[in-house]
């Protein structure tokens, strides 16, 4: 007896006639609505929210492109790692104009640079100058942070990921709304000024757009943070909220002895190949500075880092030329001040290298 589930003679078929209509006109109407919606979305991004074209989305794919340049570098190369402060504050054009070398920018926002330091120490191709930006709360901790997987992404990037990044970069500088970190519909809904129930964390206190990056990850502060008091205040309150949550959680376990031993080993490995490492402490202000003094005291963290690695270190508190710059939201320099800050750093790095018997920048 044939099974009713396997017998091909038994099946159900429904005839669904296609209705009569002017399908050409329908297609043109759908296309017109699509274009109108696209233009409206782009208008909203550029005019209402102030996003600018000619920018690139800073993600692991864009970082991997810059990381690949290390594999073709030489003894004259300069590589920058760190968190967002050295990413925002260091102007690549200024450094290239003064020294003739364009740095490779590998700093990552909200990310501990220690894993990237270890990655470069293990890379036999890197023999140049490494500038390490130190944001105390990001560097002196065990956690990797937001983009701690960037080195792994680079090492295992698939052909489809590489191609997707290349295709995306053809679109990014031309469509402002394409930045998906800021433009999903529910993200915009969260940013509406609506009252919250008591005890509910304000969804508007998330990180809004604060940076704009070029193709080589030369990054500057988003103009709204600099020019609009309410947008600047939002960034400050977001940082303050993160600090408060961190204080409520309490300090995470951190074995500074073991941690620094690993850093020392990485620095020695780079120097053994002919490279050099310089640590840079960018400026901070507002609520950040007293918190850093309390949780990562200079004597037990920064000073110890330089002593144990036997390294050159440039702390903004030690040099008048590295002070007096605008820090709109307490953590990153105003885009117009980044070139001046970088110009002030260059001779200091050069002089310190020469004083240590190393090759200078010029």
Residue 73, CB-side half-sphere exposure with 13 Å CA sphere: 25
> Contact at 8 Å (CB) between 70 and 125?
yes
Is pLDDT at 2 greater than 70 in this prediction? no
Average pLDDT over residues 149-177: 94
The full set of domain ranges for the chain reads 59-147+208-355
Q: CA-CA distance, 19 to 3, in Å (whole number)?
A: 37
Which residues have C-beta within 8 Å of that of residue 61, sequence separation ≥ 6? 153, 157, 161, 162, 164, 165, 168
pLDDT band at 362 (very low <50, low <70, confident <90, very high): confident
The predicted model gives 89-117 an average pLDDT of 97
What pLDDT shows up at residue 54?
79
Checking if the pLDDT of 184 tops 90, the result is no
Task: Name the percent of the chain lying above pLDDT 70.
Answer: 90
Mean pLDDT of the chain, nearest integer: 90
C-alpha 309/C-alpha 231 separation (Å) is 40
What b/e string do you get for 35-44 counting C-beta neighbours within 10 Å, with b at 16 or more?
A: eeeeeeebee
Helices 256-272 and 114-121, packing angle to 10 deg: 30
- Look up tokens 């400050």; give the residue: 236
Least confidently predicted of 101-105, 156-160, 190-194: 190-194
Per-residue model confidence (pLDDT) at position 248: 87
- pLDDT of residue 5 exceeding 90, the answer is no
Q: What is the pLDDT of residue 302?
A: 98
* CA pair distance 102, 212, nearest whole angstrom: 19
* Listed ranges 24-38, 41-55, 239-253, 341-355; the one with the highest mean pLDDT: 341-355
pLDDT at 10 > cutoff 70: no
Look at residue 50 in the predicted model and tell me its pLDDT.
82
Residue 346: what pLDDT?
98
Cα–Cα distance for residue pair 323/336, rounded to 1 Å: 14
274 within 8 A of 130, measured Cβ to Cβ? no
For the segment(s) 59-147+208-355, the CATH number from 3.50.50.60, 3.40.50.1110, 3.30.70.141, 1.10.3720.10 is 3.40.50.1110
Spatial separation of the C-alpha atoms in residues 203 and 49, rounded to whole Å = 18
* 82: pLDDT strictly greater than 70: yes
Considering only the C-alpha atoms of the chain, give the largest distance between any 2 of them, rounded to a whole number of Å: 96
Query: What three-state secondary structure class fits 166?
Result: helix
pLDDT of residue 47: 84
- In whole angstroms, what is the distance from residue 89 CA to residue 64 CA? 21
199 vs 177: which has the higher pLDDT: 177
Answer for the pair 55, 213: CB distance below 8 angstroms, yes or no: yes
C-alpha separations of 267 from 39, 227, 271, 279 in Å: 51, 40, 6, 11
Quick one: pLDDT band at residue 195, thresholds 50, 70, 90? confident
Asked whether residue 335 carries a pLDDT value surpassing 70, the answer given is yes
Instruction: Give 277's strand partners.
Output: 130
Which distant-in-sequence residues (6+ apart) come within 8 Å of 130 by Cβ? Answer: 78, 79, 80, 81, 117, 120, 270, 275, 276, 277, 278
C-alpha dihedral, 244 to 247 to 252 to 254, nearest 10°: 110
pLDDT tens-digit series, residues 15-65 = 777 777 788 888 999 999 999 998 988 888 888 888 877 789 999 999 999
Inter-residue contact 295 to 252 (CB < 8 Å): no
pLDDT in tens, 261-314: 999 999 999 999 999 999 999 999 999 999 999 999 999 999 999 999 999 999
8 Å CB contact between 325 and 337? yes
The residue assigned the tokens 């679109």 is: 171
Which residue would you say has higher pLDDT here, 93 or 5?
A: 93
Q: Is the pLDDT of residue 117 over 60?
A: yes
User: How much is the pLDDT for 7?
Assistant: 53
Q: CA 223, CA 80: separation in Å to the nearest integer?
A: 24
């Amino acid at each position: 007896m044939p099974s009713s589930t396997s017998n091909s003679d038994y099946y159900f078929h429904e005839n669904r006639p296609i209705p009569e209509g002017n399908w050409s006109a329908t297609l043109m109407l759908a296309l017109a609505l699509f274009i109108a919606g696209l233009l409206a979305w782009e208008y909203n991004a550029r005019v209402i929210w102030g996003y600018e074209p000619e920018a690139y989305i800073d993600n692991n794919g864009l970082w991997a492109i810059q990381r690949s340049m290390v594999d073709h570098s030489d003894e004259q190369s300069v590589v920058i790692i760190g968190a967002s402060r050295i990413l925002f504050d260091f102007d690549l054009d200024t450094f290239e104009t003064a020294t003739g070398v364009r740095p490779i920018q590998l700093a990552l926002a909200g990310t501990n640079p220690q894993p990237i330091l270890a990655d470069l120490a293990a890379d036999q191709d890197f023999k140049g100058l490494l500038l390490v930006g130190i944001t105390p709360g990001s560097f002196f901790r065990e956690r990797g942070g937001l983009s701690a997987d960037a080195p792994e992404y680079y090492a295992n990037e698939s052909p489809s990921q590489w191609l997707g990044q290349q295709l995306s970069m053809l679109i990014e500088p031309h469509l402002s709304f394409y930045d998906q970190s800021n433009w999903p519909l529910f993200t915009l809904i969260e940013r509406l000024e609506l009252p919250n129930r008591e005890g509910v964390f304000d969804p508007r206190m998330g990180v809004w757009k604060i940076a704009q990056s070029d193709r080589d990850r030369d990054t500057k502060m988003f103009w709204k943070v600099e020019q609009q008091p309410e947008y600047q205040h939002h960034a400050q309150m977001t940082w303050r909220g993160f600090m408060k949550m961190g204080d409520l959680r309490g300090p995470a376990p951190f074995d500074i002895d073991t941690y620094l031993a690993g850093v020392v080993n990485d620095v020695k490995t780079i120097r053994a190949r002919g490279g050099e490492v310089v640590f840079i402490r960018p400026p901070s202000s507002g609520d950040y500075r007293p918190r850093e003094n309390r949780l990562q005291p200079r004597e037990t963290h920064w000073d110890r880092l330089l002593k144990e690695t036997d390294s050159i270190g440039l702390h903004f508190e030690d040099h008048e030329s590295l002070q007096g710059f605008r820090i709109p939201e307490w953590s990153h320099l105003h885009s117009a001040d980044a070139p001046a800050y970088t110009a002030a750093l260059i001779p200091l790095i050069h002089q310190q290298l020469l004083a240590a018997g190393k090759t200078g920048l010029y």
